[in-house]
Chains A and B, each alone.
Chain A
Amino acid sequence: MAIATPARPRPTSPPTGPARSRPKGRNTAIWRGIGGVLGLALILEVVSRAGIVSSAFLPPFSAVITEAVLLWGDPVFRTDVLATLLTYVLGMLISIAIAIPLGVLLGMSRPAYRASRAIVELMRPIPPVALVPLVLLVLGAGIEMKLVIVVFAAVWPIMFNTLYGVHDVDPATKEMARSFGVGRSGVVRRIVVPSAAPFVMTGIRIASSIALIVIITVELIAGGAAGIGAFISRERAYGDSESYLAVLAATLTAGLLGLLINLVIGWVERRYFGWEATTRGSI
């Protein structure tokens, strides 16, 4: 026989629980981040001015920031930044124009997919910048040289991701479309392309950061080129403390530019292509 032992009086109607949102969490993150940056700036400033680390080695943070701002007043610097950005935009456009169609084509056929993966694996170990000496000889030090190398570097992530995205479309979805009478080109247009789009976007994001790095590197090592990298290289060659400040400031600015571009692309990716839960990128 079962015995019931009520331990508490009957419950009244349960109160509705408030939403379990956590705005507090996000705010602490932002404050901590700001704190970190300010803290670091303060440390750098103090360490430099107090002479703990010689200011020839580590100029005061405020001096670097000031220089970074002043740089924008220098027409030479501005031209260089423009040159880099121009190469970047052109390089990305060309890479996209080549990589996406190629990727779609190769992705649709299974053997082609496997073969292309192998070729990509082969190409991967070759650092694009190692091609600089060769391309310099063939094309000289102009924008064509930069573009060739950038495109060579940026094509692979985009193509590979397009390949992967196209190949990886859920066959069940394709079958579903066919069962509704959608023809082959319709399937490509309405299922494959939108399905692969987030992967392509990820590839573009990866290619973008690679492109910027490659451009600046090429400008650095190829004598006579224009661009931020060339600017930094030139300033270093002067060898005095003023130019050191310029080098520091320009390097930081290059980083900031890269960060900004990355953030913008990341935003676009999330906003327009974020519906894909997995953003698997490769390379």
Chain B
Amino acid sequence: MPTPTRSLETHGIPIARRPRRSRKALISLGYFVIPLVVLVSLWQLATTLNPSPFFPPPLAIAENLWKLLFGGDALVTELFFTDFLTTVGRMLAGFAIGTAWGIVVGTIMGRSRAARETVTPIVELLRSIPATATLPLFIILLGGGDDMRVVFIAYGVSWFVLINTAAGVGSIHKTMLDLGQVFKVSRTRQLFTIVLPAAMPKIFAGIRIASTAALLLAIVSEFILATNGIGFQLIQAQGRFQLLTMWSWMLALAILGLLINSLLDYVEGRVLSWHKLSRARI
């Protein structure tokens, strides 16, 4: 939890100040990077001393990945577009649709107790079905194309957002809702200026989970009946016993996941800074 590191005197009253972001970030980065470096070095050492076909040295993996994606004459290779970006595209589309749906339904469930109580058993059952297990169903219904994949991803992702949104909207403190009523704020304005911002911490938590799930579901959807994508490449590499390629694509996956996480961290820092800071104070 960030704690105020300095006090500013204004009108003779001490005011808490925002903690220095840069120093803290540097320390966190250190904790992150150093174990990583240590692990990778150990791995490199182990595979150099005792080579195994199944576990190529990390440097070789990185090099191969670079070659696969950026090695061509142009800035990026064709593979970058046909496989890396297609996965990203599917993931983003499914994520966007699923999140929108989840927020809408979740808000309705959160606001109306009747709706929530009626729908909860259905939601609990449906969301217990592992999203990946619904893939065969989607294939039967929608074929093996990209629209199937996007719908599949959206479906799987929506549950997390829905549940978190419903929880966030449903747990808004009564005083805040009273506030909207007392000052005669219209229902629509209440929704966008009180309800959603107040629920945003929980909604965002749902969005974070959804982003991880979106990537996962995209990959899984590319394991079956696909012709391109990171998942497809993984299966191809497996079939051809090309372990170096397989590891390279797994690295690409990890990097992608990291990028998404960092992006969300950044967004959270901007959009939800008030939440962390007011929690730290209380």
Contacts and interface: CB of A to CB of B under 8 A. Distances in A.
A–B contact via C-beta, under 8 angstroms: yes
Contact of A233 (B39, B136, B231): B136
A213 B32 CA distance: 29
Contacts of B139: 236
Given A32-B117, A35-B118, A127 B216 contact: yes
Interface residues of B, number: 55
B13 interface: no
Contact of B32 (A122, A127, A233): A122
Q: Which of B132, B247, B254 has the most CB of A within 10 A?
A: B132
Contacts of A233: 136
B141 A57 contact: yes
**A: contact size bracket:** 35 or more
A36 B117 CA distance: 8
A121 B260 CA distance: 12
A51 interface: no
B228 to A, nearest CB: 16
Contacts of B137: 247-248, 251
Contact of B31 (A37, A115, A236, A259): A115
A119 B37 CA distance: 11
A203 B134 CA distance: 25
B133 interface: yes
Interface in A237-252: 244, 247-248, 251-252
A216 B31 contact: no
A212 B130 contact: yes
B237 A213 contact: no
B133 A36 contact: no
B136 A247 contact: yes
A221 interface: yes
Contacts of A118: 28, 31-32, 35-36
Contact of A262 (B118, B128, B234, B258): B128
Nearest to A125: B257
B63 interface: no
B36 A122 contact: yes
Contacts of B260: 125
Contacts of B246: 133-134, 137
Interface string B75-86: 000000000000
A65 interface: no
Interface of A: 28-29, 32-37, 39-40, 57, 114-115, 117-119, 121-122, 124-127, 129-134, 136-138, 212-213, 216-217, 220-221, 228-229, 232-233, 235-236, 244, 247-248, 251-252, 254-256, 258-259, 262
Given A130-B250, A217-B220, 9 more contacts: A39-B118, A118-B28, A127-B219, A131-B250, A244-B140, A251-B129, A251-B133, A256-B125, A259-B128
Closest 3 A/B residue pairs (Cβ): A125-B257, A255-B129, A133-B238
